Amino acid sequence: MLSEKMQDALNAQMNWEIFSAHIYLSMSSHFSQIGLPGIAQWMNAQYQEEMFHAMKFFAYINEAGGHARLGTIDTPPYEWKTPLAAFEDALAHEQGVTARINELANLAIEEKNHAVGIFLQWFISEQVEEEDTVGGIVGKLKLVGDGGGLFMLDRDLGTRVFTPPVKA
Cβ burial 35-56 (10 Å sphere, 16+ → b, else e) = ebbbbbbbbbbbbbbbbebbeb
What residues of the chain score a pLDDT lower than 50? none
Q: What pLDDT, on a 0 to 100 scale, did the predictor assign at position 168?
A: 53
pTM of the predicted protein model: 0.91
- Parse the chain into domains and list their residue ranges: 4-157
DSSP 77: P
Alpha carbon distance 54, 116 (integer Å) = 15
Query: Which CATH class name applies to 4-157?
Result: mainly alpha
Q: What pLDDT, on a 0 to 100 scale, did the predictor assign at position 106?
A: 98
Q: What pLDDT, on a 0 to 100 scale, did the predictor assign at position 160?
A: 86
What are the tens digits of pLDDT across the range 63-85?
A: 999 999 999 999 999 999 999 99
